[in-house]
Amino acid sequence: MLTVHHLNNSRSQRIVWLCEELSIPYELVKHQRDAETLRAPDSLKHVHVLGKAPAIEHNGQVIIETDAIIEYICNTCAEGRLSRGVSAPDYGQYLQWLAYSEGTLFPGLGVDLIYAWTGGGNDVLMGFFEVEIVKNHQYVENTLQDRDYILASGFSAADINLGWTLEFSEARGRLKNLPALQAYLVRLRARPGYARAIERGGPQDLSVFSAGVT
């Protein structure tokens, strides 16, 4: 049995959503953030030494890292569904967009949040990341001008990965002038699998990450 360790208001919501989209059986173990510090609880350290979510347990293994978990589940539990195989014409694009969320889009958003939480003070540093944040979001906006999902071939696990990061972007006030991204989130949230994930994993309140947003 696949076990998914899920931390509320976190990127592990993606894994719950993925499992619901794939309609595969899984056990869900919920962990709650500290309400004051927003840090993960010690219970996650009993799963993996880094104490982070998402984490999964399957066939005697504990696996972390969202991108790796997504590919593992798609290819070991769902016969490759929602992934793209090496022979698919858009295999390279799939890998690019799967990695883009954590590798390119989120790092600047993380700096933006920590900068707000700590009161700023280094405008040169934030100025550098501000340029990157705007550029990285515009790239996705431009890509979605003529398609419903991030791949022209249709919905994939890359959309699940990207969708949560864009929900975080929304909480940081970063989608106000990006209509294609706003419409994309509406489409993703309208999916039955998304609704089931919210029902099972619990409601998300990413407004806890809106520090400094006006």
Mean pLDDT of 77-92: 98
Note the pLDDT of residue 108: 97
Domain with CATH 1.20.1050.10 in the chain: 91-195
Q: Which fold has domain 3-83?
A: Glutaredoxin (3.40.30)
pLDDT tens column, 139-157 = 999 999 999 999 999 999 9
Note the pLDDT of residue 9: 97
Mean pLDDT of 108-136: 96
Mean pLDDT of 8-30: 98
Q: How far is CA 51 from CA 36, 42, 46, 101, 203, in A?
A: 18, 7, 7, 21, 22
Mean pLDDT of 90-102: 98
Q: What percent of the chain clears pLDDT 90, i.e. is strictly above it?
A: 98
Alpha helices in the chain (DSSP H): 13-22, 66-76, 91-100, 106-117, 123-143, 157-171, 179-189, 192-201
Domain with CATH 3.40.30.10 in the chain: 3-83
Arithmetic mean of pLDDT over the chain: 97
DSSP 86-97: TTSTTHHHHHHH
Note the pLDDT of residue 180: 98
Tokens 């994939």 belong to which residue? 156
Note the pLDDT of residue 179: 98
Model confidence at 187: pLDDT above 90? yes
pLDDT tens column, 111-120 = 999 999 999 9
Model confidence at 214: pLDDT above 90? no
Pick the CATH number of 91-195 from 3.40.50.300, 3.40.50.1370, 3.30.365.10, 1.20.1050.10: 1.20.1050.10
Structural tokens at position 169: 């972007």
